[in-house]
Structures are given as structure tokens and as C-alpha cells.
Structure 1
Amino acid sequence: EEKEKKEERKEEKQQEGEKKERHRKKQSRMQKQEKGKKEDETYETNESKRQVKERMIRSTAACQVMGALAEAAPAFIDARDIAEFVFIALGRLLWVVPRSPRLLPSSSSPS
């Protein structure tokens, strides 16, 4: 009878050990998942910061182009043509495609 009790205790201890091992493995797996999520979030944050920086650089360049166009524009071109031209140049710089046909260059510019 004592042998049976010893065997039972031995089995219980072994089961306890297996249970602890499974729990440890599960915790380890969850920690790895959390670490992966954090790395993904860091990458996304850095990527969006980079995109914002690029957008700012492009808009600054667009402002410089607008200024140069305003200075270089001949006097006989009316303001509407200049505005359309600048808008299209801006659109190309900022990767915005004008959707409205009236925003495209007009063929009736004075000569």
C-alpha cells in the first residue's frame, strides 16, 4: 500500500512538473507575440513619421516652385492661366491628379 502511495505521489509530482512546463512555454510564446507587436508598432510609427517628413519636403518645394513661377510669369498671361498652371504643377509635385477637366490647361490662352 505504501508503494502505491509513493507511486501516486511520484505521478502527481510529474504531472505538476508537466503543468508548470506547459505554463512556462505558453508565457514564453505570449511574450514573443507581444515583442513582435511592439516591433510592428515601432515600424509603423517610424514609417508614418517618414511619410510626413516627405510630404513637408514636397510642399516646401511646391511653394518654392509657385514663387518662381509668379516671378517668371510674363505679364500678358492672365491670372487664371497662372493659377491653373500653378495648380497642375503643385498637383504633380504633391502627387495629386486634378480630377476636374476645367483645371487642365486651357487651349484658349492668349498669344
Structure 2
Amino acid sequence: MGNKYGIYQSSSKSCIFYKQDDDGNQSTFNIFVTPKKDITDKKELFAFIDNEQMKKENWTNNDIKNVKDVIDAFGGWASDAPIVFELEAKKSMSQCLSSVLNDLE
């Protein structure tokens, strides 16, 4: 049947997306925006893919270090997602990543 996609959380500080296969196995794509250490007015990204229910040893970050890396990694993770989910996810990501993008200007 294919993967089922959805959004667990969407805010200016985090986005958590999920996909679930026909057997009920879930994977999440997680983005967190946090203040940089030592620089209070700047933000940094922490993003990872979790394939096993928030067990830290199963996190993969694939060298996700900036906004472009997040978008590229998300494209690979959601490669078979319906267009409606992709549009909603991109809207959520733009809200979440806007503070990081503002720091680059």
C-alpha cells in the first residue's frame, strides 16, 4: 500500500514528521532549532532521522549541518510521500527554519 505520512509537531522551534509502513513500523524526521551556545541571539539546527522510536543509538544525522542539508535529507526520507504531505511539511519547515535563515542574513 505504501507509507503513511503525517506531522506530529510543528512550531517555530521544532518540526517532527513521521512515516509508517504497512507493518506499523515508524520513522520520524526531527528538526529542532535551539539558541547557539555562547551567542544568545543566534540559532542553530539539530536535525536527525529516528528509525526506532526515539532510541538515541538509532539516530542518524547524515551530517545535517545547515538548512540545505535539512531539505536534501528530508527529500530523501520522504521520497514517496504524497504531494499534499510535502506541501504541508514544507510550510511547517519554513516556519521552523525561518529563525535560522534570519541569522544568515
TM-score band, normalised by shorter chain: under 0.3
Q: TM-score, normalised by structure 2?
A: 0.27
- Higher relative contact order, structure no. (Cα contacts within 8 Å, ≥ 6 residues apart): 2
Bigger strand share: 2
Between structure 1 and structure 2, the one with the greater Rg is 1
